[in-house]
Structures are given as structure tokens and as C-alpha cells.
Structure 1
């Protein structure tokens, strides 16, 4: 079991420098089990966290885990995803979430960060094929990245797709899966999102229930509550809540978080992060998913 990393600014705002991805002896997908496998959920949380890193680090990390690697970049929205072709049959498609600017980043990253926030905030309704509507910013960014995927030769043969993303990346993963399933001979094995915001109205997301979708929500993470239901947005139904007791008693959780500051102040400014945002950190999703996998494996 792994302890939760300290709430430093570097840990809670990816990429996490020095993080050891896929650090377990059993670190290959159980391709016959889909989203029911705790190992698969942990591994896809690692792929989603890795999407925040740069192309060089992604390539180094996946050098021995994939036969081919493709990077997908959106032109207008500047979204990012990568494809790790595992063996010519199974492939992982991981989407990057909303970035933040960290000390040491190049000034050119400002434009990407601003574009991510523009994508998040532009939730004007866009009509969906078959009825209902989608979050306009998410839909446009997902379309750019899937169009980039269609420009590769990856769809020239049948593949089984494992799709993942955190936050904005989770929203893009779900919308991308809804398009990718329409491509001939392509099969969606799993769509895992971590701290995903809502992507459309109830009519639209009801059709996504046909996909093997699994939303993972950590404790008091506020992002899955956005955009508000009052604006007509809805979620797919299959949800797994980590630390559900804390989420169920939100006021007490916030009080405990504030009261615990005296124990956390050495962690720096990250210790001041509100609980609703702290629980959104992708490293905590990956750590909890790992611990659930190890706990389940040890119980067998």
C-alpha cells in the first residue's frame, strides 16, 4: 500500500516530477476483464497521469510497454492526447486534462494553459447527433483530437481501445469514445475517467451508457459537479466513489481539513489548497486506485 503523497504544489499540479509510473511487478492490462479489473483501473489512472507529462518523458516511460507511440494535438484548442499501441491489437488512448503553470515551465505554456481554461469555460450547448446536446468546448476539442487520430494508420486494422483521462481529459475521453465506436472494426474495451466534469444533457449521456464507461470520483472533488445540473448537464450513471464517507459528510470533511493545517504547514502553499480542489489532484486518484488494486490482490 502507498501513503498519499504530501500536498505540495508540485505533487498536486502535474506533471509530478520524479514520479515512478507503473511501479508494480504486475503492470500489464488484464485485457480479458475490462473495467471490472482493479488492476486495469489503476493502470489507466497511471496512463491518464502520464498524459500531463511532456512527449520525451512519455516516450521514455512507455518505451518497453508499447510497440508504437503516437502524439495527438489539437490545432485550435491545443488539446493533447497520446496513443500507446501495446501489441497491434490493444491500444491505450489517454487524454491530458487542464494544465497549470508551474515554476520552471517555459513561457510558451501560458498559451496552452489559457486554451485549456477556454475549453473548460465554453460550455455553450452544441447539438449532438441523435438528439440532445454536448458541452461545446469539450466537444470541439475532442473532435480535433479524434480527427488527428483518423489521420494516422491506427484505424486501418481492428483494435481494442482502452481510453482514459483525468478532469478535462476524462471529458475528452468519453466524447472521443462516442465517436471512435462508430469506426469500422474498432472496439471500445474501457472508458475510465477520473474527476471528470459533465459533458452534456441527459438525452446525450444516456446514449453513452452503451459504452463500458466507469467514472471514478475522489472524496470531495468539486469538478465532477460541474457544470451545474441547473444548466441541464448530467452524468453517466456508473460511478465509483473513493473515500465515499468523506464525500457523504462534506461539512465535517472540510472542518477536519482546516483543523489539520497545523500538521500540513511544512508542505508549503499546497497545504492551503481547498479540499474540493485537493481531492481533484490526479496523483491521489492514481494512488487510491493502486491501493484498491493491491488490497484486492492481497485479499485473494
Structure 2
């Protein structure tokens, strides 16, 4: 393992990755044929960073994608990159992976499941995730006297992991069990996972940083004010999930980092820059999808406001931005 990492470090300069068509294989995680943390030795995680870090954005986007994988697969990938251990909390969709080194901890929450798992033993119907997502009522966080209201469905999913499954206690023990210094705790997640990561960062006082990937709105202005750690919100162009729930009572959290239609990070992007294409463009994409099917090629997602939600695209875009920023 040491030799392979040594060779990787001194090999040719990193290159951008091609962005594939959004076929079912691309759109639906886990993407087990994807090469996770490729060239990681050249870009070690910046666990003390405060400003936006292209390196950390890439690490955390890949961790958020990896959260959709089976535990055994994810554990092998984390350990291969020098993490000491990885622990799983929950099962099926309400899951998070906690991986740690001597210096930092990455907590990655799994997002909404859109198809059944091969080896699920919970008996939980796949539509239960969607019930979590559409439970839109704002409810008191009720964590302390700082207040804040959050999406009721997100809160229920979070508490199942945070208290019932012992995630909070495990993080405390892991962070403090270090003779040299306290480990830095970073939260991430894609889609529903990003919402859960945001709630975690709002209640965990020792949060070092938060990067949400394709996250919906989570709570109100008082909830937003609770998050004092560096927080960044990654959005892939016109990803539909990033526009819901409706803004009435809800606010986004974190500094916006938006990729444009070409996958480039649009510096200084605002909410108004995240918009759906005109109907003619969407019709063109639908026509292309039908043509692909007519030719007997693999099915592709016809609308980019849906396709852009694929967690694999976030991993690729953050990597390509990292390469361009060097």
C-alpha cells in the first residue's frame, strides 16, 4: 500500500475527469466502479481549514457519495487512504459513516434512497425516505435555548442517529481520545444527507466545518444562526433538490458554491444564478434521451435539473475544480 501511494504521489500531474452522460448507472448510487479518493496522497485533507478549500470540497463530496455504498465497501476505501477506522450508525437510508485519522473525523450522512438495497434486512419500504423528505412542517429543534426550527422529517431522521444510535456519544469519545490534541470533526452529506449534516453542525459545538452537497433547505433563520463553524453549500447548476422546500419560512445555510452548466465553479454566484433552463432546452434534452433509447443505447435522464442531482457529478466537479485550481 505504501509503494502504491508513493508511486501515485510522484506520477504525472492530476488530470480532469470526463463528465459522463447521466445514465441510470451514473444517476443512482452507489457508484462502485468509481475510483474513490484517487490521487488523495497528493491532496491531503486540510483539517484546520477555515476558508473554502477545494481539497476539502473534493474529499467531502467523495465521502458523501461513498455514504451510499455498503459498509464493507466504504470501509475498504477509507482504510486504504489512511483512516484508522470507520464505524456505521443506522441502516438502510438513515445511515452515517464515521471515519477518523489521528487528526480529524469525517461524518458522512447518506441521502435519500431511490431504489431498494440488495442486502437490506430492515424490511423498510423504499418510499419511507420520500415520506421523510416531504414532511415539510417546521418544528422546534428543542436542543438548547438558542432556538431554531427545522424540517420535521429531517429532525426525526437526525435524532434516530444522533441519540438513539449513539452518534453523539461516539463522536465525543473519539474526539477526546487523542493524547496530542482534539480531533477536528467535519460533517457532510448529499441531498437528505446534507440536511442531516447541517443539523449535526448546528448542535455539535466542536464542529470544525460543514460542506453540504445538493442539500435542500433545512430550517428557519434562527436555525441558520446556530451554525457558527465554517459552512459551505455545493450546488450543481440547476439541481432541483437545492430549491426545496419552498422558501416560506425556510432559509439555506452555508456560503453558496455553485457549479455552472459546464461544471466550472462560478465564483460569486447568487441564488438567482440557480435557475432552470428554458423549456426549449429541456425539450431538446428529452428528444436526445428518446433518441438514445431509439438507438438501443443506455437510458439517460432527460432533464438536467434532475440529472444534476447525481452525487457522482458533485464528486467529479469538485475534483476537476481542484485540478484547475492548482
What's the TM-score bracket when you normalise by the shorter of the two chains?
0.7 to 0.9
Q: Distance in 2 between matches of 1:118 and 1:60?
A: 32
Q: What whole-Å deviation, never above 9, does each CA across 1:73-117 have from its counterpart, x for those lacking one? A: 17xx96100111112x31111000001216x83475762633322
Q: What whole-Å deviation, never above 9, does each CA across 1:43-76 have from its counterpart, x for those lacking one? A: 11000000000011011111232112111117xx
- The structure richer in helix per residue is 1
Q: Distance in 2 between matches of 1:257 and 1:162?
A: 37
Instruction: Tell me the residue number matched to 1:120.
Output: 133
What are the within-5 Å matches in structure 2 for residues 176-255 of structure 1?
A: 176-181=200-205, 186=206, 188-208=207-227, 210-230=228-248, 232-243=249-260, 247-248=274-275, 250-251=277-278, 253-255=281-283
CA contact (8 A) 1:79 1:96 kept: yes
Q: Distance in 1 between matches of 2:285 and 2:183?
A: 45
CA contact (8 A) 1:73 1:81 kept: yes
Q: What whole-Å deviation, never above 9, does each CA across 1:171-202 have from its counterpart, x for those lacking one? A: 00010111111xxxx3x222001110111112
CA contact (8 A) 2:52 2:232 kept: no
Runs (5+) with no aligned partner, structure 2: 1-15, 263-272
Aligned length: 285
Query: Does the alignment pair 1:168 with 2:192?
Result: yes
Q: TM-score, normalised by structure 1?
A: 0.86
Q: Distance in 1 between matches of 2:22 and 2:38?
A: 21
Q: Distance in 1 between matches of 2:254 and 2:261?
A: 16
Runs (5+) with no aligned partner, structure 1: none
CA contact (8 A) 2:288 2:302 kept: no
Q: Distance in 2 between matches of 1:244 and 1:264?
A: 21
Q: TM-score, normalised by structure 2?
A: 0.79
CA contact (8 A) 2:84 2:100 kept: yes
Q: Distance in 1 between matches of 2:290 and 2:151?
A: 41
CA contact (8 A) 2:238 2:276 kept: no
CA contact (8 A) 1:35 1:190 kept: no
Q: Distance in 2 between matches of 1:140 and 1:8?
A: 32
Instruction: Tell me the residue number matched to 2:7.
Output: none
The DSSP-based 3-state class of the residue aligned with 2:232 is strand
CA contact (8 A) 2:94 2:157 kept: yes
Q: Which one has the largest radius of gyration?
A: 2
Instruction: Tell me the residue number matched to 1:111.
Output: 124
CA contact (8 A) 2:286 2:302 kept: no
Query: Does the alignment pair 1:140 with 2:142?
Result: no
Q: Distance in 2 between matches of 1:235 and 1:121?
A: 17
CA contact (8 A) 1:51 1:82 kept: yes
CA shift in 2, pair 1:295/1:110, >3 Å: farther
Which deviates further from its counterpart, 117-126 or 164-173? Answer: 117-126
CA contact (8 A) 1:34 1:40 kept: no
Instruction: Tell me the residue number matched to 2:9.
Output: none
